[in-house]
Structure 1
Amino acid sequence: MEPISSVSSSQGSMRETKQTQNVEVLPQTPGESKERPNCRHIESVGDYILIGDQFFKKSDFVNTFLEDSGPEMSNEQPRQAAFANPLPLGLASFSFMCLTLGLANARVRGVTNLYLLNASFIFGGAVVLLSGLLSFCVGDTFCMTVFGSFGGFWISWGCLNLEQFGVAKAYADNPQEMQNILGFYLAGWTVFNFLVMVCSMKSTWGIFLLLLFLDLTFLMLCIGSFTQSVNAFMAGGYFGILSSCCGWYSLYCSIANKDSTYVPLIAYPMPGAHIV
């Protein structure tokens, strides 16, 4: 590492912001060279270090240290792979499925047959399930549990209503029993959704309201299955539409920022939330 004998006059002004420290000089042994620089005074001046009356580049110290420390230290550290956030993907598919099912249950424009939507429920459920599996990679246990479970829900809901799976044919002789079994099925999802809703009370208002309206959706559909009440089914449909709206809002907040859009929205945190 060669000392720099001369530095431009601009370094005179750089000394105004220099950092100075006194260094204790080790006693010199008789065998040591007497030509080494005087280390009684060390100054940091811009990209240079002044040791005694000689200037050295800071980068020379770094390179010398790496060379002396061996090949294992000079090699660059492995770069950690960055993972994308799987939350927007799960919210996109979930909100779409929830909106279509809510519109059908609410009898919007006189629609009562869900047959054409069943295949999309299976496809959409696969995307939600994928989002839950990807949440495992980023260490998000909550999203992994919620999206993984609801991915299975949408797939199973589509299978229940498709003739190819033979569920309706199995209960052809006793349709009321099928409605009771469907009510038990929805009751289980009501309990599960309530638990994850309680666990979202320190997230954002969008996520919490999504799960709150979804829990009311399951409850109304459960009651409708047991009582065959059209009003209960329609109420469940409207709560499902509200849940999907909260999902759309949370989705937009997750992907919209000042670098990507002129209209960013804020994901408002719940009281006492630590992470938004």
Structure 2
Amino acid sequence: KPANPLPMGLAAFAGTAFVLSCSNANCLDLSIPNIAAPMSYFFGGFVLGLAGLLAFFQGDTYTSSVFVPFAAFWMSWAAINTESFGVLSAYSNDSEQLGNALGFYLLSWAILCLFLWICTFKGRVDFFLLIGMVFLLFLVLSIANFTGSANVTKAGGVIGIIVAAMAWYIMYTELATTDNSYINI
């Protein structure tokens, strides 16, 4: 029987979201998000994408339709924040245009999450809550970029930390069994 890729994908999503969200929330005065770029390529991008492909080959259309696009999000976010791609430097003379470009970028992900969220209405409550919060996260960060508001960015960071905690919780519930853990939920 093949392994369930859900815990691996949730771990990759949660860990990467947590690191970036700590930067967005300005935790411990962390305001430079570059530490999240390598994690986004390898954990959020590669591992989450691998989990999505495994789900695809197991016939789990919904999980693969969540994990593979989110892997693409993490890799594209990392590319935006990698100097050699030149995305941020292309906007170096116009911060308002950069904010608008990032706002539309994040809004496109919010729209995807809205459709993914609608597909959870008749499913598991934990996924309904998680994907709903991810939709809210992308929407808030989109607004933060359109407005340039540091406070809205911080709010997005706090939402992202909550999202990461929710994803870790679901990961644990999928992974912990009476065979491997004394604590089962």
TM-score after normalising by structure 1: 0.65
* Alignment partner, residue 180 of structure 1: 100
Alpha-carbon distance in structure 2 between the residues aligned to 1:211 and 1:92: 15
Q: Which has the higher contact order (CA 8 A, sep 6+)?
A: 2
Q: 2:42 aligns with which of 113, 123, 128?
A: 123
* Alignment partner, residue 142 of structure 1: 62
Alpha-carbon distance in structure 1 between the residues aligned to 2:12 and 2:61: 19
**Does residue 38 of structure 2 align to residue 99 of structure 1?**
no
* Alignment partner, residue 141 of structure 2: 221
Alpha-carbon distance in structure 2 between the residues aligned to 1:199 and 1:101: 26
1:231 deviates by 1.1
Alpha-carbon distance in structure 2 between the residues aligned to 1:123 and 1:202: 33
- How many positions carry a matched residue from both structures? 184
Q: What is the aligned-residue RMSD (CA, Å)?
A: 1.0
* Alignment partner, residue 35 of structure 1: none
Code of the residue aligned with 1:91 in structure 2: it is L
TM-superposition CA deviations, 1:77-106 (whole Å, max 9, x none) = xxxxx2111111100100101111111111
Q: Would you say the 8 A contact 1:133–1:148 is kept in 2? A: yes
Larger helix share, 1 or 2: 2
* Alignment partner, residue 260 of structure 1: 180
* Alignment partner, residue 47 of structure 1: none
Larger strand share, 1 or 2: 1
Code of the residue aligned with 2:78 in structure 1: it is G
* Alignment partner, residue 155 of structure 1: 75
Q: Would you say the 8 A contact 1:213–1:243 is kept in 2? A: yes
1:188 deviates by 0.6
Q: Would you say the 8 A contact 1:209–1:243 is kept in 2? A: no
Alpha-carbon distance in structure 2 between the residues aligned to 1:239 and 1:212: 11
1:119 deviates by 1.3
Q: Would you say the 8 A contact 1:190–1:215 is kept in 2? A: yes
TM-superposition CA deviations, 1:198-234 (whole Å, max 9, x none) = 1112332322221111111111110110110011101
Q: 1:249 aligns with which of 143, 164, 169?
A: 169
Q: 1:206 aligns with which of 112, 126, 132?
A: 126
Code of the residue aligned with 1:118 in structure 2: it is A
Q: Would you say the 8 A contact 1:187–1:222 is kept in 2? A: yes
Code of the residue aligned with 1:96 in structure 2: it is G
- 1:139 aligned counterpart, secondary structure: coil
* Alignment partner, residue 52 of structure 2: 132
Percent same amino acid among aligned pairs?
A: 38
* Alignment partner, residue 36 of structure 1: none
* Alignment partner, residue 160 of structure 2: 240
TM-superposition CA deviations, 1:144-175 (whole Å, max 9, x none) = 11000000000000110111111112112222
1:249 deviates by 0.8
TM-superposition CA deviations, 1:93-140 (whole Å, max 9, x none) = 001011111111111111110112211111121111111111111100
Alpha-carbon distance in structure 1 between the residues aligned to 2:20 and 2:150: 15
Unaligned runs of 5+ in 2: none
Q: Would you say the 8 A contact 1:104–1:114 is kept in 2? A: yes
Code of the residue aligned with 1:159 in structure 2: it is A
Higher Rg: 1
Code of the residue aligned with 1:105 in structure 2: it is N
Alpha-carbon distance in structure 2 between the residues aligned to 1:260 and 1:202: 31
**Does residue 156 of structure 2 align to residue 230 of structure 1?**
no
- 1:132 aligned counterpart, secondary structure: helix
